[in-house]
Structures are given as structure tokens and as C-alpha cells.
A and B are shown apart, each in its own frame.
Chain A
Amino acid sequence: MKTSLKCLTIASLLMPFAAQAQMPNDAIYMGKNQLCVAGMYSHTSWNQYWENTFKRENFNIGTQTTQSVMLMPAFGISKRVNVIMSLPYIWTNNSAGNLMGQHGIQDLSAWLKVKAVQTGGFSLNAIVGGSIPMGNYVASFMPMSIGMQCRTFTGRLLANYKEKRTGLYITAYGSYGWRSNTKVDQDAYLADNRVYNTNQVSVPNTYDAAVRLGVLRKGWQTEVWAEHVSCLSGDNIRRNDMPFLTNNAKATSVGWYGKVQPRNIGVNARVGYVVDGQNVGQSTSYTVGLLYQINFKK
């Protein structure tokens, strides 16, 4: 243990270049044998939501808040192939009403990011990811539940163009998200206006699309983004009912992301706001993260 700590310290002191944290939604890559660990805190809240297409408030919920802390290591297998993982601990609460907050470890995600094509400033990236629930949390107690208790698999194609001199870049991507069925504690439930006499629930698949526009320079990055995430099927929240796992959730969000990482230690931050949606809360979210980069080259 001591040896490895020493090793890490030396590695970080010797880091000769600006470090770069990276995410499953950008074209930034860690170099070979570089590890970046991000510790992140997120805070998401809403006091209005869309019940089907009807936007409303609910005095028995008040403001719904979801917070999480997450560990997110990213590792460079080569400078064109990166692995990113994440594991969040999540907790929820309401400012009004009497629903019990939920908390626990959610799902472990892993992403593989491959720079398939690079010509000049243009790159085409293929990203695949999956997640598996780690905690035995309750999925059906929405909106308090911390996750959907289903396995997911996502395929994403990401195109990026970066102007070398200025660091100006534009990124666009689209993804298809497959989600497994989930099991609930109840052995009967209502969905699509009918009763299913089973504990298995079909969770709709998803797609998303986003554009990001920003500047990436040595040691810092700033960008604005817009994103649309939507289910491919599903039913709607009924009038005055609670949400359910089968709901066709849709959200269009805009936001900003920035990062400063002059050396091996850095910080990043993200803010987002849902401008339009269906069967979701109109949430405002922010994330702050501490980044720590280690170079394992000896």
C-alpha cells in the first residue's frame, strides 16, 4: 500500500503536461496508461413536473431533490482507446409531504471509447457502455427511488471537429440505449391502462442526441451544450398519479460545462436545465468534481 502511494505521488509530481479529464460524451482521450479519477457531487432539483404533457406543481412533494456522490475513474488503454467507469451513491428527499427519502449505491457503469477515425481536426468516435444495478434499492417508489434497477447497454456515435489553433470545437452525438426489464416488489401493476399480473416490468428503451460547442485549451475547457433524451415507447403519468417505470420520459436540456486542470489536479463543473419535457421533472442540476490524474508510465 505504501509503495503504491509513493508511486502515485511521484507519478503525479512528474506529470509534464496539462492533464485532461474525460467523459463518455466528449472526444477527449487519456494517454496510454494514464488514469484520471474524478470524485463528483451532483445536485438535481425540481418543483414542477410534466404529468404527461401537463406541467404542474405538487404541494405534497414541494421541491424534489436528488443528490449523489460518484467515483469516476477513466483509464487510457491507448490514446485512442479509453475505459471509463462510474459508481454513484444517491439520496433523495422532498421539501414537503411525507414520502420517505431513499438512499443507496446505484448502478455501476462502464464505457469503452474508441477513436475510430481521425483526419486533421475531425474525429469519429464509437462509444459503448453498459450498467448493472449494484444496490438492492426499490425501483418502483417513484419519484423517490434512486434508480430503475435495470441493466442498460448504450451505443453512441460521436463526431468531433476541433480547430487546432484556437481550440474551438464542436461535438455532436446520438445514442441508442437498451434497457432490460426490471422486477418490482408488487406482483401486479397498471401500465398502458391495463393490469399486468406479474412482477416483471418492461422499461422502455431510449435514444439521445446532443450538440456541444466549446473551447478546449491547455489546462482548461468551456462549452455550452444542448441535449435531448427520450424513451422510444412507454405510457404517460395518469392525471394526479405517481410516475412509474414504464413511463415515456422525455427531456430537452441546455447547459454549460467547464474544466480547469492546469496540472494533475483539476476541477470541473456542469450545470443543466430542462427546458421542455414529458413525464419528468423540470430539473436544474449542477455537478462539481475534483479530478486527479495519474500517469503510470515509468
Chain B
Amino acid sequence: MKKYNRILAIGSLVASLSIAFVSCDKSISEPQRVGYTPASIDEKAGNWKTYVLTAPTDVTVATPVSTSSSTYQAELTDLKSKSASLSQEQQEAVVYWGAGAVYRWNEIARELCARYNIPPASTPDGKYPVPDAANPLADPKFPFANPPYASRALAYLSVAQYDALVAAWSYKYKFNRVAPSKVDATVRVALPVSALPTYPSEDAVVAAASAVVLKAMFPGEVPFIEAKLAEHQNSRLWAGMNVASDLAAGVDLGNQAAAKVMARAKTDGMSAANNQAVTAGMIQAAKERGLTEVWVSQETPARPPMLPNFGAVSTWNFDKTTLLQIRPPAPPALNDANYQKDMAELQGINKSQTREQARIANYWADGPGSYTPPGHWHRTAANAANEAKYSEVRMARTLALVGTALEDAAIGCWDAKYYYYYPRPQQFGMKTSVGLPNFPSYPSGHSTFSAAAATVLTYIFPDKAADFQAEAVEASTSRVFGLIHYRFDSNGGLDHGNKIGTYAITRGKADGSGL
């Protein structure tokens, strides 16, 4: 009888425990970023080297009226009325945008990448329709924001923000118009005020430049982007940080700079990146070099490979000759000893993947519905710069260096992938716990992206070098744990990414920032 009482006791215990464990809280906490006074306002940034603009004078800004003029005084009165009392919603907008213009627009861009990162479905006749930029919201949506697409969108965003801010810094110190709250101490400010001149507004510069790039990259999101642009500008009035003419001049400058950056985008070769006609020659060439079995799509119906000609897109930090020079060495021949060793590792994982291996594979998967590995590293870079209390222009420089390295990594990696046309482990019986990308195996894109970004971040934040390097190695290994890459794919990608990153560092060291 005692035994059965025990069973009963255990039963009721479990029942009551499951009730006790239940709390009604279903809220979700996300890390919050708030505004700060920059560690340095980088007053010399107007002389930093830009990517696309040849000089800040490539864009023009109207000479501002004097702060003693009646026009300015009228703006000040208007500002005081707008910032005097804020609704809950307005306060939230002030805090949100106060975390940083570059930071928030980078975050918005990552979110757009995630929303659009989904491969098109096949049609009943077994074809995959190509997304149409002229009809972005039809099925399939334009764009398919896959990793190369995301790397490029984020690179252009970061470059436009950086070039526009360098020009803005130049004009800020040319005109030297102080913050409204320094003209009139009765202006109520909701955010820290630095010594940085406010004409043109750096927030408006970033908002306008970002909106131009993102509207081009995500044409179905124009209303969403315009609403963000308007809210961002308004938040500066609500916060008492800028008068209307600071913002108008900033929008004007941001638009001009971004237009010049987007002119490069129109001719960088992206329009031919998905040219499927080039694959026959690539396959032929890989076979002639001795590859016995080429990569084939493992999807049913077979999906055309992702952006086979992306390797021909213009690079940022090195030229096409260098691209070929640093291309990773050939992977092992199928079935040689090195191949067999790495295949045996996958067979072992396929049989008994540990929970820790699965966790690492999942953490770094960054597959459909995510902002992709380039987005992941943009987030890492933006968070590091935010924690270091970087000024807007230095934050933009950080993301431009990392962002261009990430697009260069995508270009270099895609070039190598389609040059070698190497088969995936799935062609030899492996399953996957993360989903299988639809392009050749060697080298691993995650590894190239991660090493490139970690190399650049190590240069910018030497104190965190060990963290970034460890993350890059883990991201690289995650693809082995997820069973979609051989170990030599990952190692080849890491080496390649490290090399790519150093070109961004060379640029950074020579950009006049002294950083």
C-alpha cells in the first residue's frame, strides 16, 4: 500500500508542480539601447576619405541663416512648442531614435532583409519564378534577400550613411551653427546634447540617405520607409535637438549623397548576378580541372543556383585582379584521403549529433526569415560601436568598413563557389539539421563572411579581438555541425575571409581618421 501511496504522491506532485511552474507572464524582453553622449565627437571627420564621393563639395548645402535672424527665431519658437510636452508615443519615438541614427537604420535594414529572405516557391509546372523589381509585392516578393543580396544592400546603406556623414561633418564645421538649446536655454531637450554643430542635422542626413538606399533595395517597402523617415525627423523636433532648417538641410544633403552612391549600384554588375546562362561554362571548366561530380541542386524540383554570377559584381576594397589572386586553393579531390577524413567527420555527426552541436548550428544558421550572416555581423558591429559610445560618423565608418568587407566576402566567396562547383555533403547521403542552401559547397559562405567581419572588427575594437575571433570560428564550425559543409569548406572560407578583411583594414588605416 505504501508503494501505491508513493505513486499517488508523485502524481500529485507533478500535477501541482506543473501548475506552480506556470506563471502568467508572457512578455518578452529584448535588449534596449538608449542615447548617449559620444566618447568623441570626431570634429575632424569632414576630412575622412569617402567611398563614392570624391570630396564633401560633391554635395551642396545652403548657407544657414544666423541664429539671431527672425527666421531662426521663428523656428525656435516652433521647436519650443513641439518639444514642450510629448505624448507617450512621441516620447517612445524620441527614445527609440535617440539610440542613434546609423544604429537604428542599420537595424531597420536588417529587419527588411529578414522579411524578404525567403526563396520563391515553385510553380505547378516545376519552375521557379524570378522576383520582379517592378512588381515587388507579388508572389514571389522582390527581392529574395539572400546572403549576397543582404551583404550588398547593407554595404550600400553603410557607405551612403558614411559618405553623407563625412560631408555633413565638413559642412557642420564650415557653418558652425550650435544646437538650439545652446542658442536658447529654455528649449526643452530630451536627449544628451554634445558640442557638435547641428546644421545640417546628422540624424536627417542619415535618415534621408538610408531611405534612398532602402527604397531602391526594397521597393515594396516605400510607405514603411517613408513613415520611418518622417518619424525620425519629427523625433528630433520632439526632442528639442534640431530646428526645422537643420533637418531640411540634412535631408537635402542625405538625398544628394545617396543618389551618388546609388549611381554606383546601378552599374556594379548586380543586374547580371543571377544570369543562369553562365553555369554551363562553369560546370564544364570545373570538370576539365578534374572535378568528378559537380554540385547539383538538392531541391525538388531542382532550383536554379543562387546568383551564379555574383562573383562578377564590383568589389569595394580590392580590384578584380586581387579577387582572382586571393581565390582559395582547390578543395581536395572527391575520395582522396583529405576528403575522406572530413567526410568521416560528417558521417559521425550525422549518426549522433550532440545537443551542443545542434545549438551551435542553430544559433548561427541565419537561414530563411533571418537577416542572413552579413546581417548578423552588422548587428555585432553596430552593438560594439554603440557600446563604445561612437559618434554617428564613427559608427558609420565602422559599419562601412565591416559592410564593404562583408560584400567583398560575398563576391569573393561566390566567385570561388562557382569556380570550383563543388558538391554538397547531401549528394553523398548526409541529412541537415539547419536546411540546405542552394549553391555549391566550397568554400563555406558563413566562414568567409565571419572571418572577414571578425578581422575588421578586431582592428576596430582590439580589446574584443578574442571574442570576435572565437565567434567567427564557431560560426564556421556551425556549418560542419549542421552537416552542410565539410571541414575543409569551413577552413578554406576562414582563410579567404581573413584575407578579404585585411583589405578593409588597409583602407581604414589610410582614410585619414587616424583610427
Contacts and interface: CB of A to CB of B under 8 A. Distances in A.
A129 B363 CA distance: 33
Interface stretch (B21-29, B211-219, B321-329): B21-29
Across chains A and B, which 10 residue pairs bring their CB atoms closest together, nearest first?
Answer: A130-B18, A185-B362, A59-B300, A100-B431, A240-B121, A110-B15, A83-B11, A110-B14, A190-B369, A153-B22
B92 to A, nearest CB: 16
Contact of B299 (A60, A83, A111, A136): A60
Interface of A: 4, 33, 35, 59-60, 73, 75, 77, 83, 85, 96-102, 108, 110-112, 128-132, 136, 138, 140-141, 144, 151-153, 178, 180-181, 184-190, 193-198, 200-202, 238-242, 244, 296, 298
15 contacts: A35-B4, A59-B299, A60-B299, A96-B300, A100-B433, A131-B18, A140-B362, A151-B22, A181-B26, A193-B115, A196-B28, A197-B379, A240-B119, A242-B369, A244-B369
A284 B141 CA distance: 33
B91 interface: no
Contacts of B269: none
B37 interface: no
Contacts of B121: 239-240
Contacts of A187: 363
Interface in B291-314: 298-301
Contacts, number: 158
B233 interface: no
B114 A98 contact: no
B19 A128 contact: yes
A276 to B, nearest CB: 22
Contact of A98 (B119, B298, B301): B298
A136 B19 contact: no
Contacts of A77: 8
A298 B12 CA distance: 23
A4 B6 CA distance: 14
Main secondary structure of the interface of B (DSSP, over half): loop
Given A98-B430, A239-B139, A242-B368, A132 B17 contact: yes
B458 interface: no
B12 A83 contact: yes
Interface of B: 1, 3-4, 7-8, 11-12, 14-15, 17-19, 21-24, 26, 28-31, 110-111, 114-115, 118-122, 139-141, 298-301, 350, 353, 355, 358-359, 362-363, 365, 368-371, 376, 379, 426, 430-436, 483
Contact of B18 (A98, A110, A196): A110
B370 A188 contact: yes
A200 B29 CA distance: 8
A141 B19 contact: no
Contact of A178 (B22, B29, B355): B22
Contacts of A196: 28, 30
Nearest to A296: B4
A178 B28 CA distance: 16
Nearest to B12: A83
